[in-house]
Amino acid sequence: MCERYCEIFRISSRLYEEARKLFPGGVNSPVRLMRHLPYPFYVKEAYGPYLITVDDVKLIDYCMGFGPLILGHRPRPVLEKVREYLERGWMYGTPTEIEIEYAKTIMRYFPSIEMMRIVNTGTEATMNAIRLARAYTKRKYIVKFDGCYHGAHDHVLVKAGSGAATWGVPTSAGVLEEVARYTIVLPFNDIESVEKTFRELGNEIACIIVEPIMGNYGLVPGDPEFIKTLREVCDRYGSLLIFDEVITGFRVDIGGAQKIYNVRPDITTLGKIVGGGFPIGIFGGRREIMELITPLGPVYNAGTFNAHPISLVAGLATIRELEKGYPYEIANRASEEITKAIQDVATDCKIPIKVIRVASMFQIYFTERDIKNADDVRSSNVKLYEKLHKKCLLEGLYLTPSQYEVNFTSAAHDDEVVQKTIEILCKCLREISRS
Ligand SMILES: Cc1ncc(COP(=O)(O)O)c(C=O)c1O
């Protein structure tokens, strides 16, 4: 099967040969090098639900830039606004008017955010949120959950998901033991372990940081009871609750996971969709906490590219489309139909599969276990996922490239694309069941 891949993606192969001399592993982010393929394919353009590779292969995309592209690739309304803005210059190092409309729009849907700081990545957002929580509470410990990924900085690269899980380095080398010691890692969806940890150490815990719907270890939704308990425990011990909604914000609902769970965090981090495909990160929350940020307060944050106007224009144009409702209808319907078809073929062929879906996100696990936490995900047959991924790719369907990532649908995944997807997926699953 690798021969066929190499035959189809010849130009990509040549580019990769050069790239591996220039970049570690030939890539600039680890999940771009897929473990089960000899080298990554290179993309030259994209539109709607499609990626076009340098080898002129057209792929239906379910990775969608790892989440930001809820309207699909190159959506007209975003393209037009960005083009229009570029004519005015694109970076001034001063405040811009669009910041005001942008922040007010985000706050309309995320009332827990009373004040925000706009940065460039989700990583920066969570790093600053944790620093802020420590400064506000004057405490050192933080609690995170096994499999949650909050970006690539020292305090959260302990039992992390995403590329860290895919490449088997959940706890990064180079993170000081002295730093990792203050990051307590607990099993996701396990109320008892949270209660126990807080009974022992509660008065020293600055915050809990959590993806309410874990989206970096495949897809693992938080039990509503679990999420509510996190809020209660934080209130009881004076710790802050940080919802990392870098993926779920504007994805699972226009008001994010916090609206679905009806739980108000103290600090929220956003990213991905709110930049409309351009770099972005936001951390924001209760005014009293946010007022500690520089230049108002003593918690330092700064950035040459903070609140980059092009990211804000693209993010705002995206949200304006989301407000119309149709993107959610199309994207959610697409993931519903695809997951239903997978489940049907799995039952038919007696393949032990669990399919988890939330709104326009889904993931497939080759396991009989219910998926409630990182251990359950680890029990699934990753090799079979990779086999399915490779088979689908050769048929023109690009599923998310790792068991530990999530498939995203978008407003561009219309009925025709969905039918084609189902056809390919079912064919590949049937082949796997026979092999
Ligand atoms: C939940 C979550 N938090 C934080 C991050 C880090 O965001 P970025 O890659 O923009 O630094 C990610 C990235 O995938 C994420 O999924």
| The ligand 1 atom nearest the CA atom of 124 | 11
The verdict on the CB of residue 248 being under 6 Å from ligand 1 is no
pLDDT digits (tens), the chain, 435 positions:
578 999 999 999 999 999 999 999 999 999 999 989 999 999 999 999 999 999 999 999 999 999 999 999 999 999 999 999 999 999 999 999 999 999 999 999 999 999 999 999 999 999 999 999 999 999 999 999 999 999 998 888 877 777 777 776 667 888 888 888 999 999 999 999 999 999 999 999 999 999 999 999 999 999 999 999 999 999 999 999 999 999 999 999 999 999 999 999 999 999 999 999 999 999 999 999 999 999 999 999 999 999 999 999 999 999 999 999 999 999 999 999 999 999 999 999 999 999 999 999 999 999 999 999 999 999 999 999 999 999 999 999 999 999 999 999 999 999 999 999 999 999 999 999 998
Catalytic residue, candidates 244, 261, 365, 391: 244
Q: Are residues 313 and 329 in the same domain?
A: no
| Residue numbers of the domain that contains 87 | 76-322
Q: Are residues 311 and 345 in the same domain?
A: no
What pLDDT shows up at residue 282? 98
What pLDDT shows up at residue 1? 59
| Overall domain count for the chain | 2
Nearest residue (by CA) to ligand 1, atom 13, is 151
The verdict on the CB of residue 151 being under 6 Å from ligand 1 is yes
The verdict on the CB of residue 150 being under 6 Å from ligand 1 is yes
Q: Are residues 160 and 288 in the same domain?
A: yes
Q: Are residues 205 and 252 in the same domain?
A: yes
Catalytic residue, candidates 81, 144, 272, 354: 272
Catalytic residue, candidates 39, 85, 109, 149: 149
In the residue annotation, 328 being an active-site residue is answered as no
Provide the CATH number for the domain around residue 316.
Answer: 3.40.640.10
The verdict on the CB of residue 123 being under 6 Å from ligand 1 is yes
**Per residue, what are the HEC states of 330-392?**
HHHHHHHHHHHHHHHHHHHHCCCCEEEEECCEEEEECCCCCCCCHHHHHCCCHHHHHHHHHHH
Q: Are residues 7 and 153 in the same domain?
A: no
- Residue 316 alpha carbon to ligand 1 centre in Å: 19
Domain end point (choices 293, 322, 351): 322
The Cα–Cα gap between 305 and 366 comes to 42
- Residue 171 alpha carbon to ligand 1 centre in Å: 16
What pLDDT shows up at residue 161? 74
Domain end point (choices 272, 290, 322): 322
Q: Are residues 70 and 80 in the same domain?
A: no
Alpha helix positions (H), 138-251: 163-166, 177-180, 191-201, 224-237
| The ligand 1 atom nearest the CA atom of 148 | 1
Q: Are residues 312 and 348 in the same domain?
A: no
Provide the CATH number for the domain around residue 405.
Answer: 3.90.1150.10
Q: What CA–CA distances, in Å, run from 356 to 48, 144, 401?
A: 24, 22, 17
Cβ partners under 8 Å of residue 88, min gap 6: none
The verdict on the CB of residue 162 being under 6 Å from ligand 1 is yes
Q: Are residues 223 and 156 in the same domain?
A: yes
Q: Are residues 372 and 389 in the same domain?
A: yes
Q: Are residues 44 and 125 in the same domain?
A: no
Give the tens place of pLDDT for each residue, 358-384: 999 999 999 999 999 999 999 999 999
In the residue annotation, 149 being an active-site residue is answered as yes
The verdict on the CB of residue 211 being under 6 Å from ligand 1 is yes
The Cα–Cα gap between 293 and 270 comes to 17
Q: What is this structure's pTM?
A: 0.97
Ligand 1 pocket test: pick from 220, 272, 274, 282 the residue with the most ligand atoms within 8 Å of its Cβ: 272
Domain end point (choices 263, 291, 322): 322
Q: Are residues 46 and 83 in the same domain?
A: no
Q: Are residues 318 and 338 in the same domain?
A: no
The Cα–Cα gap between 46 and 74 comes to 7
In the residue annotation, 326 being an active-site residue is answered as no
Q: Could you tell me which residues are beta bridge partners of residue 282?
A: 118, 270
CA dihedral 426, 429, 433, 434 (to 10 degrees): 70
The Cα–Cα gap between 187 and 372 comes to 10
